[in-house]
């Protein structure tokens, strides 16, 4: 498989595009794939790296959103449950089932009854009989060692889990395989309007070369998530979004060794706290920090959020003696939420909206889980503006992501499934054919082989080291200090694949480590505050 070369901007500007999608998070990726699969000439542009916004900083759940039920958001819950089940079915290896437990304190009949009824309804929405599993204390000790002993029992239910950045990259890859063009480090710096004032294209800035061009497109879709009001302001439109930041802590799994997801209420705020095993680490989230209309780049976890999450998990797991020095990394993202003037940011609806203003289609809100529904709604809007269309063709049948045909006997079934899910069947064959296919970067990280690093550097539009380590391999979250100790093993592969000399490698390492310290390390005040 060859490296995908960046087509120069002026060549793209010579073409007339059916659809220009602005924003390479999961929302833009979903629209890109859907439009390309319908045969529309589609271009996606992303100002930074693909998935570098909220779509690599989520809770990584493909979930129905049990708590939507408590807010009577039935349509959203039903849609999320349906989408979760479709993704679990269609994307094995990329979206996997994960059991959750809801611990119930001794004598807390109220929560026990509410959750039993809620989970029953939840099962019915997913087309299953309302059977909720009860977990006794003895089993709880295996699932969540160190959990406070006032939790005597728990209820168990099933959701899905993914790697958010890899999901976005896979969806973009699917759009590319349908002849869509996706370009990272390409910022929209202005909208182009026709003589009727309708948006008919955009000005693009190549962040790597400094080139600027104007490009024409019949439909322009603003899928810039938390930044969508910024693009709309080019039309003189007032903001419609409310930005709510959310943070997570990352612990090495051995310090918080849960085997299922755990959802419990934070002792101070009463809001849900998620403790989730993910790729060999444990994630703890989340927070709801109201930022008004401001979404600075990048989103950072604050000292207060770190302390809040750490306090919450300590109260739940007093037996583990967790401290700030146990936190391996932190991360934060902005929720693009439609402003419904709710006072409490935690209760603001996670629904999505699509609207048309002067020819610009803006989509905002939503979740990873519902990206396909959002994309279909945008396509319906596009088809509504084209009376000559025969309506929207149904989305292509599920893309089979199972690898088939290769015969590497050393690969376990689950590993084969993971590779196929994350990179696609074609990629699996190429990865397995590489000489370093069986060599792992780090024994504690059984998932990352040197061949995957090579394949990713070669074919996945890596422009900076950060793109590779933070979003394609996830080392920024999975290894202490962002995997600093492993850079020596990664260097020869990356330099060979990307043609970087020693000076460029050094610059990239400095850039990556400085970025990691800013975006993923524990904020220094949180460390000193706790000591």
Q: Which residues bind ligand FAD (CB under 6 A)?
A: 22-28, 45-48, 52-55, 58-61, 63, 187-188, 223-227, 231, 246, 285-286, 333-336, 366-369
161 bridge partner residues: 61, 96
150 or 296, CB closer to ligand FAD? 296
DSSP 202-261: EEEEETTT--EEEEEEEEEEE--GGGHHHHHGGGTPPP-EEEEEEEEEEEEGGGS--SSE
φ, ψ of residue 220 to 5 degrees: the values are: -115, 125
**DSSP helix/strand/coil, 310:** helix
Min dist. Cβ of residue 319 to ligand FAD (A): 27
What's the min distance (Å) between Cβ of 492 and ligand FAD? 30
Q: Which of 445, 446, 415, 444 is nearest to 432 (CA)?
A: 415
- Cβ proximity to ligand FAD: between 335 and 416 the closer is 335
Nearest in space to 134 (alpha carbons), one of 157, 112, 155 = 155
Length of the chain: 531
The nearer residue to ligand FAD, 44 or 144, going by C-beta atoms, is: 44
* Cα–Cα distance measured from residue 197 to residue 415, given in angstroms and rounded to the nearest whole number: 53
Minimum gap (Å) between residue 330 Cβ and ligand FAD: 11
Q: Is the dihedral of CA 138, 141, 143, 144 positive or negative?
A: positive
Q: Which residue has the tokens 């009001």?
A: 229
Q: Which of 189, 398 has the CB closer to ligand FAD?
A: 189
Minimum distance, C-beta of residue 372 to ligand FAD, in the bound complex (Å): 11
Q: Decide whether 154 or 167 has the Cβ nearer to ligand FAD.
A: 167
List the one residue out of 235, 517, 490 whose CA is nearest residue 355: 235
Q: Are strands 199-206 and 186-193 parallel, antiparallel or unpaired?
A: antiparallel
Instruction: Scan for tokens 């759940």, then name that residue.
Output: 61
Task: Compute the least distance from the CB of residue 158 to ligand FAD, in Å.
Answer: 15
Among candidate residues 485, 489, 472, 493, the one with its CA nearest the CA of residue 513: 485
Please report how close the Cβ of residue 471 comes to ligand FAD at its closest, in angstroms: 10
Mark 3-40 as b/e (b = at least 16 C-beta within 10 Å): eeebeebeebbeeebbbbbbbbbbbbbbbbbbbbbbeb
**Cα separations (Å) of 340 from 81, 238, 293, 346, 353?**
23, 14, 13, 12, 12
- Of the pair 25, 421, the CB lying nearest ligand FAD is at 25
Shortest Å, Cβ 220 to ligand FAD: 11
Closer CB to ligand FAD, 439 or 511, in the complex: 511
The minimum distance between CB 73 and ligand FAD, in angstroms, equals: 14
Using alpha carbons, list the distances in angstroms from residue 395 to 92, 378, 391: 19, 13, 12
Least distance from ligand FAD to the Cβ atom of residue 388, Å: 30
Which is nearer to ligand FAD, 139 or 338 (by Cβ)? 338
Task: State which residue, 57 or 123, has the beta carbon closest to ligand FAD.
Answer: 57
């Amino acid at each position: 498989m060859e490296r995908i070369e960046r087509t120069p901007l002026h060549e793209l500007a010579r073409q007339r595009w059916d659809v220009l999608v602005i924003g390479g998070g999961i929302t833009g990726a979903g629209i890109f794939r859907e439009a390309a699969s319908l045969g529309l000439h589609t271009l996606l542009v992303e100002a930074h790296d693909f998935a570098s916004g909220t779509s690599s900083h989520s809770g990584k759940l493909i979930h129905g959103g049990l708590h939507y039920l408590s807010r009577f958001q039935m349509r959203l819950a039903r849609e999320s449950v349906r989408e979760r089940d479709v993704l679990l079915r269609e994307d094995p290896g990329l979206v996997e089932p994960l059991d959750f437990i809801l611990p119930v304190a001794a004598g807390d009949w109220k929560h026990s009854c509410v959750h039993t009824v809620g989970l029953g309804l939840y099962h019915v929405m997913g087309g299953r009989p309302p059977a909720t599993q009860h977990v006794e204390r003895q089993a709880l000790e295996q699932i969540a060692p160190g959990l406070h002993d006032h939790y005597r029992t728990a209820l168990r239910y099933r959701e899905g889990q993914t790697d958010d950045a890899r999901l976005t990259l896979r969806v973009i890859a699917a759009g590319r395989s349908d002849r869509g063009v996706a370009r990272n480090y390409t910022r929209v710096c202005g909208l182009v309007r026709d003589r009727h004032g309708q948006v008919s294209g955009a000005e693009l800035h190549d962040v790597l070369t400094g080139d600027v061009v104007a490009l024409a497109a019949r439909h322009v879709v603003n899928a810039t998530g938390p930044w969508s009001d910024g693009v709309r302001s080019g039309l003189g439109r007032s903001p419609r979004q409310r930005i709510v930041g959310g943070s997570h802590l990352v612990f090495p799994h051995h310090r918080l060794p849960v085997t299922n997801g755990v959802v419990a209420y934070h002792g101070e705020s009463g809001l849900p706290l998620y403790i989730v095993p993910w790729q060999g680490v444990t994630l703890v989230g989340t927070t709801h920090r109201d930022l008004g209309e401001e979404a600075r780049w990048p989103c950072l976890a604050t000292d207060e959020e770190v302390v809040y999450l750490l306090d919450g998990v300590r109260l739940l797991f007093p037996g583990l003696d967790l401290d700030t020095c146990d936190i391996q990394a932190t991360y934060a993202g902005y929720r693009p939420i439609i402003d419904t003037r709710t006072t409490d940011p935690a209760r603001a609806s996670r629904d999505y909206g699509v609207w048309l203003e002067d020819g610009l289609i803006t989509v905002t809100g939503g979740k990873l889980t519902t990206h396909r529904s959002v994309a279909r709604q945008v396509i319906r809007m596009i088809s509504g503006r084209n009376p000559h269309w025969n309506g929207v063709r149904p989305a292509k049948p599920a893309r089979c992501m199972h690898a088939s045909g290769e015969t590497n006997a050393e690969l376990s079934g689950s590993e084969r499934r993971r590779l196929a899910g994350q990179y696609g069947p074609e990629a699996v064959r190429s990865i397995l054919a590489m000489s370093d296919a069986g060599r792992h970067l780090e024994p504690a990280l059984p998932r990352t082989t040197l061949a995957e690093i090579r394949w990713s550097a070669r074919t996945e539009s890596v422009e900076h080291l950060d793109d590779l380590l933070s979003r394609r391999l996830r080392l920024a979250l999975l290894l202490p200090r962002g995997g600093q100790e492993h850079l020596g093993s990664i260097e020869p592969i990356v330099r060979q694949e990307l043609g970087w000399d020693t000076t460029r490698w050094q610059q990239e390492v400095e850039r990556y480590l400085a970025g990691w310290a800013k975006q993923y390390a524990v904020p220094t005040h949180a460390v000193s505050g706790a000591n």
